C-alpha cells in the first residue's frame, strides 16, 4: 500500500509522536471484525466472543466468516459493523433518557441507524435519511431486516430536511468525508486522497450542517462524526458548529479504551485510530444547540386516506397500537403515537419506508410483505412457521422453490428459529416470496453454516 506523501506529512503534523505507529497500522495490520447483535430478537452473547468496550451489544470475531451464507444475518439477528462506529450507542445512552425524535441525516448503509434504534429510549421516532438512491435502497433493506417498526426511511437533500423547523431532538450527521480512516480496508480511499479532496469535503460538510441546522430544536443534540483524521473535517468543523450556536459536550470514556482526545482544540472530541483501538478511524463530537424549546409539529391538512379494513389486524402483536392505512397499494401499519409525525414527514419529504408494510395489493389478493416477516411487531401466531435445514435455507435465500410440510397458504420460512421471509405453500411446492434484490447470487454451498452467534 503506497500512501500519498501529502497524507503522511499531514499525519506527522497531527501526531508528532504517533504518526509512524498509525501509518504502520494502516499499511501492515489487518482490520478487526465486529458484529452488533439484535437483542430485540432475543440474541445474547456470541460464544467466546470479546465484547466491544463501549457497546454492550458489540462483539469482536476472531476472523471474518462468509456472512452472505449465514441465515442469521439475513434474519436480522446481527449487524456487521466496525467497532469504532458503535461508539454512537454509548453517546446516545449517556445523553438521551426520554423518547425523542431522532434524525440520522446521512444514514446509509444503516449501521449507526440500527445502533441508535437499540440505544434510544422506547417510543422514540427514528428518521433515517440518505440522498443517494442506490444507497437509500440498501438503507431501507437493512432497516427492514432489523425489524423495528418505529423507523422512517427518507431520501432528501439536507436543505429539504432543514425546512422541518425545530422538528428533531437529536440529529446525527455522519457526513461524507475524505475517508482517511477507511484506508486500511478500502483501496479506493487510498487512491482518491488529495489535499483538494479534503478541501472539497470540508466545504460540503459546512453546507450540510448549515442546511440541516434549522431542523434541530433549541436545546437539542447534534452528533457530528466522520471516518477521517485531518483537522479540517474534524476539530475545525466542530468549531464551525459552535459558531452556528452550540455548546460542546463531554462524553465520559474509560482510559482503557485508548480514544485519542481533540488535537489543538478545546472542544471535547473523540478520535478512534487503529494503532490505539480495535477498529477503524472515526471522529466524533457532541454539541447542544443553544436555547431550550420543545419540538415543533408540522401542520398538515388531514387527508381522506382510504383506511384498511381488517387486513393485518391479526398479524400484529398489539393491533390497537397501530394505525393501518393503504399507501400506494401497500397496507402500512404505523405506531399510533407517532402516526401524526409520520404523516407530516410524508407530506414534507420523500419517504421510502415507514412503520411496517403489511401486504401488497395485487388484484383481489393481498400478499404479505417481507417487512412484516422481519418485524418484531409481528404476532407470533400470525402465520405458520416452517423450520428448514441449512441447505434448504440457502435455497430459499437464493429464490429457489422449496417444499415444506404445512397447510396450503402463506407460511414463514425459518432456520434455527430465525425467520427469513414468506413463501406461498401450494402443497407440492412453495412459491418463494423472498425479495429478488435480497437474494444470494452465488451458487456456492458451504460445508457448514458460518458460526457467528452460535
Indicate which residues carry an active-site annotation: 227
Angle, helix 111-119 to helix 87-95, in steps of 10 degrees: 30
Strand segments, DSSP code E, in 8-83 are 33-37, 50-51, 58-61, 78-80
Assign 284 to helix, strand or coil: strand
C-alpha 119/C-alpha 87 separation (Å) is: 11
Residue that has been written with the C-alpha cell 444547540 in this structure: 289
Close Cβ partners of 243 (under 8 Å, ≥ 6 residues apart): none
Instruction: For Cα atoms 35, 37, 42, give the angle at the middle one, nearest 5 degrees.
Output: 160
- The contacts found for 4-12 with CB under 8 angstroms, 24 or more apart, are 4/190, 4/193, 4/194, 6/193, 6/194, 6/195, 7/180, 7/193, 10/229, 10/230, 11/229
Output the CA–CA distances (angstroms, integers) from residue 364 to 111, 190, 331, 398, in the order listed. Answer: 38, 54, 14, 28
Q: Identify the three-state secondary structure at position 339.
A: helix
- Dihedral sign, CA of 104, 110, 112, 115? positive
Which residues are paired to 360 by β-bridges? 330, 367
Q: How far apart are the first and last CA of the chain?
A: 36
Residue of 41, 51, 38 lying closest to 78 (CA atoms): 38
Longest dimension (CA), the chain: 70
Nearest to 129 by CA among 93, 165, 109, 105: 105
The CA distance from 297 to 42, in Å, is: 35
Q: How far is CA 236 from CA 8, 203, 223, 232, 355, in A?
A: 20, 11, 15, 5, 38
| Cα angle, residue 405 at apex, residues 401 and 406 outer, rounded to 5° | 100
Amino acid at each position: 500500500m503506497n500512501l500519498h506523501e501529502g497524507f503522511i506529512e499531514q499525519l506527522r503534523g497531527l501526531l508528532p509522536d504517533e504518526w509512524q505507529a498509525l501509518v504502520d497500522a494502516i499499511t501492515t495490520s489487518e482490520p478487526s471484525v465486529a458484529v452488533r447483535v439484535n437483542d430485540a430478537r432475543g440474541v445474547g452473547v456470541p460464544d467466546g466472543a470479546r465484547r466491544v468496550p463501549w457497546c454492550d451489544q458489540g462483539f469482536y470475531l476472531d476472523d471474518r466468516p462468509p456472512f452472505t451464507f449465514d441465515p442469521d444475518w439475513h434474519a436480522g439477528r446481527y449487524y456487521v459493523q466496525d467497532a469504532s462506529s458503535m461508539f454512537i450507542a454509548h453517546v446516545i445512552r449517556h445523553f438521551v433518557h426520554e423518547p425523542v425524535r431522532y434524525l440520522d441525516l446521512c444514514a446509509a448503509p444503516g449501521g449507526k441507524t440500527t445502533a441508535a434504534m437499540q440505544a434510544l429510549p422506547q417510543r422514540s421516532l427514528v428518521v433515517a435519511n440518505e440522498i443517494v438512491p442506490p444507497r437509500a435502497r440498501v438503507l431501507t433493506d437493512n432497516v427492514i431486516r432489523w425489524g423495528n417498526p418505529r423507523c422512517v426511511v427518507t431520501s432528501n437533500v439536507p436543505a429539504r430536511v432543514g425546512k422541518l423547523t425545530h422538528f428533531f431532538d437529536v440529529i446525527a450527521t455522519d457526513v461524507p468525508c475524505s475517508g482517511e480512516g477507511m484506508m486500511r480496508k478500502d483501496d479506493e480511499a487510498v487512491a482518491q486522497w488529495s489535499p483538494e479532496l479534503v478541501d472539497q469535503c470540508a466545504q460540503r460538510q459546512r453546507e450540510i450542517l448549515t442546511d440541516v441546522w434549522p431542523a434541530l430544536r433549541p436545546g437539542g443534540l447534534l452528533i457530528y462524526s466522520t471516518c477521517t483524521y485531518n483537522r479540517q473535517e474534524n476539530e475545525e468543523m466542530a468549531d464551525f458548529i459552535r459558531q452556528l450556536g452550540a455548546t460542546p459536550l463531554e462524553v465520559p470514556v474509560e482510559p482503557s479504551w485508548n480514544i485519542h482526545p481533540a488535537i489543538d482544540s478545546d472542544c471535547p472530541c473523540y478520535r478512534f485510530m487503529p494503532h490505539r483501538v480495535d477498529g477503524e478511524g472515526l471522529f466524533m463530537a457532541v454539541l447542544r444547540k443553544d436555547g431550550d424549546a420543545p419540538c415543533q409539529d408540522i401542520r398538515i391538512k388531514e387527508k381522506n386516506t382510504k383506511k384498511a379494513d381488517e387486513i393485518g389486524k391479526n398479524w400484529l402483536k398489539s393491533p390497537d397500537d397501530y394505525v393501518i392505512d393503504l399507501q400506494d397499494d401497500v397496507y402500512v401499519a404505523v405506531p399510533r403515537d407517532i402516526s401524526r409525525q409520520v404523516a407530516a414527514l410524508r407530506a414534507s419529504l420523500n419517504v421510502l419506508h415507514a412503520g411496517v408494510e403489511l401486504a401488497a395489493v395485487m388484484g383481489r389478493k393481498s400478499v404479505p410483505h417481507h417487512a412484516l416477516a422481519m418485524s418484531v411487531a409481528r404476532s407470533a401466531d400470525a402465520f405458520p412457521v416452517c423450520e428448514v435445514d441449512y441447505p434448504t435455507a440457502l435455497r430459499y435465500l437464493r429464490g429457489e422453490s422449496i417444499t415444506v410440510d404445512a397447510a396450503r397458504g402463506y407460511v414463514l420460512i425459518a432456520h434455527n428459529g430465525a425467520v427469513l421471509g414468506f413463501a406461498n405453500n401450494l402443497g407440492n411446492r412453495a412459491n418463494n416470496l423472498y425479495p429478488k434484490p435480497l437474494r444470494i447470487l452465488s451458487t456456492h454451498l458451504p460445508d457448514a453454516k458460518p458460526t457467528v452467534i452460535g
